[in-house]
Structure 1
Amino acid sequence: MLRWASVTRRQYTTSGIDSLYGIASVANALHTQKRRALELKVQKGLQHSNQSNKKTSVAAILDQCTKRKVPIHYTDKGELNNLTDNRPHQGIVMKATPIATMGLRCLMPLADNTYQLDPSDSKCDPVELRSPSNRLPLWIALDQVQDPQNLGSIIRTAHFFGVDGLVLCSKNSAPLSPVVSKVSAGAMEMMDIYTTRNLGTFLQISHENGWQILGAAADGASLDSLSHDQPRILVFGNEGTGLRTNVRRHCDTLISIEGSMEQQQRLGVVESLNVGVAMGILVSRLIQ
C-alpha cells in the first residue's frame, strides 16, 4: 500500500465530515490511517454482544480508539440510524475526515519491474511502484461510474484480486462516500484510489508510455485474442451509456464477456452484466 507522507492529496469525496459506518469500514480506516478519526459512536450494549466475532471486532475498534485518544460515546440505535440514513451500521459509526485521492496525469513506462505515477499537480514528485513478481501490472479506469453501489462493488473486487491501481474521473463519478466504503466491505479504506481530470488524455499518454488500453464493451472481442506482453489498463464505462466516444478512441482493443445464450435469446431478458460483475469476471481472467 502506498504511503502518502510525501504526497499532496486532493479531496475527492463528500464535503465536510464523513460518518463512516460498519465494522469493516471503521476497522480498516483505523488500520490504514488515511483519515483522521474524530469521534466513535457505539450502540449501547454492543460491547457485550453474544456474537463472538462481532464482539472481538468491536473490542479491537474500541482498543484502537482508546490508544489514539479518539473520543468514544455510547448511544442508542436511533441516533446511529439518523447518522447513516437508516443504513446497516452494525452499531458502529465513526466521525472522520474525508478520504482523499491523488490526481494523476498518466502512468509512466514499466522498466526493471518498476514504474512511476505522474501526478497532475506539478508540485508533487512522481511516485514509484513495483510490478508484482508473477505478472505485469493491471490497473482499472472507470469512465464516470455514478452508482455508489457499483463503485463499492468494483473497489471490493479490485482489492480482492490485487489490482495494482484504480483511477476515477474527477467529475461525474460517484464520490468516495461512507456508502461506497460500506459496500466495498472496507476495501475503499485499504486500496489506493486515484483521480484524473481528463480520462482520454490519461489513457493516451499512458498508451504512449507502453500501456495496453482495454475497453470493456458489449461489441468487444474475446479475451482469448489478447497478447500478454504489456502492462494493462482496463476501462469500464458508465452503467447506462457505457464508454464515451472519446474514451473508446483511446482503447487499443475492446473486449467483452461471452454469454451462454445467443444475442437474440437475451433481448428482453438480461442483455448485459452489471458493471461490477463484469469487472470481476474480466479481472479474474486477465490477472491469471
Structure 2
Amino acid sequence: MDKNKNNEHNGLVIGRHAAMAALKGTQAVNKVYVQEKLKSDAVSEIIALARRKSIVVSRVPKAKLDFLSDQQNHQGVAVSVAPFQYATLDDLFSRAKEQGEAPFFLILDEIEDPHNLGSIIRTADAAGVHGVIIPKRRAVQLTATVSKTSTGAVEYVPVMRANNLTAVVKELKKRGVWIFGTDMAGQDFRQFDGSAPTAIVIGNEGKGISPLLKKNCDGMLTIPMTGHVQSLNASVAASLLIYQVYTSRGK
C-alpha cells in the first residue's frame, strides 16, 4: 500500500451528508476538498458553511478525490478532519440525563463491517440512543466509511471505546442498567419493555455474542423468523431491537 495514500485517507470524511454533518459538528475540520466544476445546491451549501467557519476549500480534480477516498463513492466532496473523538462512559450517562430519559445504550461485540457500524449508528441517532460502546480490539473503529454510511450520525451519537466489554457491562449493572443480549432462545423481542435503563448487546456478524459477555447479560431477546435463513444482518437485528425500545418508551 502507498504509505502517503494511507496517511491522507486517515481522518477523511467523504460524501455530501457526512461532510455537512462534520462541518456542523464539534469535530475540528482542517480542510474541505470539492471536485472542480461540480455544481449543485448541496455542494454550494457545504462551501458556504466552510467559508463562514474560515475553513480552507480546495477545488481539486475528480482523480484527486478518488485517490484520497481510496476509490470510494465520495460524491465530489471530502472533508479532512481531526481524529474522531471517543466518549467516556460518564459522557453517555450525561447525555441521557440532559435529555431527561432513562439511559439507553448499545454494546457492539466485535462488529467488523464498517457499513454495519455506520448503519447501526444512523439508526441509533434516529431512535434517540444515548451512546454506543465498541471494543478497542478485534472490531471496526470510527472511519471515513463508517461516517459516510451513517450519513454523518457519528457527529451526534457518542461512541465509547472499551478495553474490556465485560468490565463495562459490570459497571453498567452497578449503575442500574439492565443488559440484554440476542439469542435464538430468549424472550420474544416484541414483548420486551425497554423503558427501564437498558443496554442491548449486538454480537459479531458470524460468531454472535462472546460466551463471557452473554453470561453477564440479565436476559436474552430473540427475533422470531420463519424463513429458511435463520439469521439477520447485524445492523438489521440492531434496528429491530432499537425500535422496540423506542416504541416501549412511548415515543
Residue matched to 1:196? 162
How far does the alpha carbon of each residue in 1:157-209 deviate from its partner, in whole angstroms, 9 at most, with x for none? 11111112111112221010001001111111222111221111111121122
Give secondary structure in 1 for the equivalent of 2:49: helix
Residue matched to 1:44? 36
Name the larger-Rg structure.
Answer: 1
Give secondary structure in 1 for the equivalent of 2:111: coil
- Are 1:283 and 2:242 an aligned pair? yes
Give secondary structure in 1 for the equivalent of 2:161: strand
TM-score (norm 1): 0.77
Q: Which amino acid aligns with 2:149?
A: V
Report how far residue 131 of structure 1 moved.
6.5
Give secondary structure in 2 for the equivalent of 1:101: coil
Residue matched to 2:58? 73
TM-score (norm 2): 0.88
For residues 194 and 90 of structure 1, what CA distance do their matches in structure 2 show?
Answer: 29
What is the aligned-residue RMSD (CA, Å)? 2.2
Report how far residue 250 of structure 1 moved.
0.8
Unaligned 5+ residue runs, structure 2? 1-5
Q: Which amino acid aligns with 1:42?
A: V
Residue matched to 2:233? 274
For residues 131 and 187 of structure 1, what CA distance do their matches in structure 2 show?
Answer: 19
Give secondary structure in 2 for the equivalent of 1:287: helix
Residue matched to 1:91? 76
Q: Which amino acid aligns with 2:155?
A: E
Unaligned 5+ residue runs, structure 1? 1-13, 48-54, 105-116, 120-125
For residues 276 and 229 of structure 1, what CA distance do their matches in structure 2 show?
Answer: 22
**Which protein is richer in helix relative to its size?**
2
1:76-225 correspondence runs (5 A)? 76-104=61-89, 117=90, 127=94, 129-130=96-97, 132=99, 136-224=102-190
How far does the alpha carbon of each residue in 1:241-275 deviate from its partner, in whole angstroms, 9 at most, with x for none? 010011001101110100134xxxx2xxx220000
Contact 1:29/1:190, CA 8 A, preserved across alignment: no
Number of residues of Structure 1 aligned to a counterpart in Structure 2: 241
Residue matched to 1:123? none
Report how far residue 224 of structure 1 moved.
4.9
Q: Which amino acid aligns with 1:77?
A: K
The share of aligned pairs that are identical, in percent, is: 27
For residues 194 and 118 of structure 1, what CA distance do their matches in structure 2 show?
Answer: 9
Contact 2:103/2:177, CA 8 A, preserved across alignment: no
- Are 1:56 and 2:41 an aligned pair? yes
Report how far residue 129 of structure 1 moved.
3.9
How far does the alpha carbon of each residue in 1:96-126 deviate from its partner, in whole angstroms, 9 at most, with x for none? 211110243xxxxxxxxxxxx279xxxxxx8
Cα distance change on mapping 1:73 and 1:228 into 2, 3 Å = closer
Q: Which amino acid aligns with 1:78?
A: A
